[in-house]
Amino acid sequence: MEKKEFIYSDELISDDVADGLPAATPTLSHYDEAGQAHMVDVSAKPATRREATAEAFVELSLAVLEALPNNPKGSPLEVARIAGIQAAKQTATLIPMCHPIALTYVDVELQVVEGGITIEATAATVSGTGVEMEAMVAASIAALTVYDMTKALDKGIRIRQVMLAHKSGGKSGDYNR
């Protein structure tokens, strides 16, 4: 049997190593042939409806959860919701290779649950590029805002599980975690 070699993360690997990798390992699109970072040209892509949802979890102690309604800075959940929406609109200024896109919808929902707060951020557009990063930035900044609003009560707050939960539209199709 002939041994094959693959390129993975700019490294030549053999097929026995590649067995542990996904079957179709995509290439990284934000690098040119010389290995320098660049913005991908999406001008030839058709403008289609694209949507993405990201999630985050802020782990809070029971004492912090009980104190949420009485926070002297205001409602941490409402401030975090607005911060997440604002952040989604600033993604291209925060992440160098992201395209500035016209968002048609952003929503951030926060819910108090046992052990903390769940965050779900959704972004949508009609564009030639996706909105995964906008949703991820919204969830991340909402989580950081919860931390900022409650850190006086506990410095041990943890932000966990920031992840893409769903995306639809575009060339790569739908994705569901």
CA 86 to chain CA centroid, Å, is 14
9 or 154: whose pLDDT is higher?
154
Question: Do 107 and 28 reside in the same domain of the chain?
Answer: no
Question: Do 30 and 62 reside in the same domain of the chain?
Answer: no
Per-residue confidence (pLDDT) for residue 105, from 0 to 100:
97
At residue 55 the predicted structure's pLDDT band, cuts being 50, 70 and 90, is: very high
Residue 120 lies in a domain: yes
At residue 92 the predicted structure's pLDDT band, cuts being 50, 70 and 90, is: very high
Residue 112 lies in a domain: yes
At residue 172 the predicted structure's pLDDT band, cuts being 50, 70 and 90, is: confident
Residue 155 lies in a domain: yes
Q: Number of folded domains in the chain?
A: 2
Percent of the chain with pLDDT over 90: 59
What is the rounded average pLDDT of the residues 3-28? 48
pLDDT at 71 over 70: yes
Question: Do 100 and 146 reside in the same domain of the chain?
Answer: yes
Q: 117-139: per-residue pLDDT in tens?
A: 999 999 999 988 889 999 999 99
Per-residue confidence (pLDDT) for residue 108, from 0 to 100:
98
Question: Do 155 and 88 reside in the same domain of the chain?
Answer: yes
Q: Whole-prediction pTM value?
A: 0.78
Range of the domain at 62: 48-176
At residue 99 the predicted structure's pLDDT band, cuts being 50, 70 and 90, is: confident
Question: Do 138 and 74 reside in the same domain of the chain?
Answer: yes
Residue 133 lies in a domain: yes
Catalytic residues: 148
Min mean pLDDT across 18-27, 45-54, 108-117, 164-173 is at: 18-27
Residue 43 lies in a domain: no
Per-residue confidence (pLDDT) for residue 24, from 0 to 100:
53
* Among the listed residues 91, 125, 123, the one whose alpha carbon sits nearest the alpha carbon of residue 109: 123
Question: Do 26 and 104 reside in the same domain of the chain?
Answer: no
Contacts of residue 77, defined as CB under 8 A and 6 or more positions apart, other chains included, come to 68, 110, 112, 117, 146
* CATH, residue 78: 3.30.70.640
Question: Do 28 and 70 reside in the same domain of the chain?
Answer: no
Q: Using DSSP, state whether 73 is helix, strand or coil.
A: coil
Question: Do 28 and 52 reside in the same domain of the chain?
Answer: no
- Read off the amino acid at residue 84: G
Question: Do 87 and 124 reside in the same domain of the chain?
Answer: yes
What is the rounded average pLDDT of the residues 17-21? 48
Tokens 């919808």 locate to 105
Question: Do 168 and 108 reside in the same domain of the chain?
Answer: yes
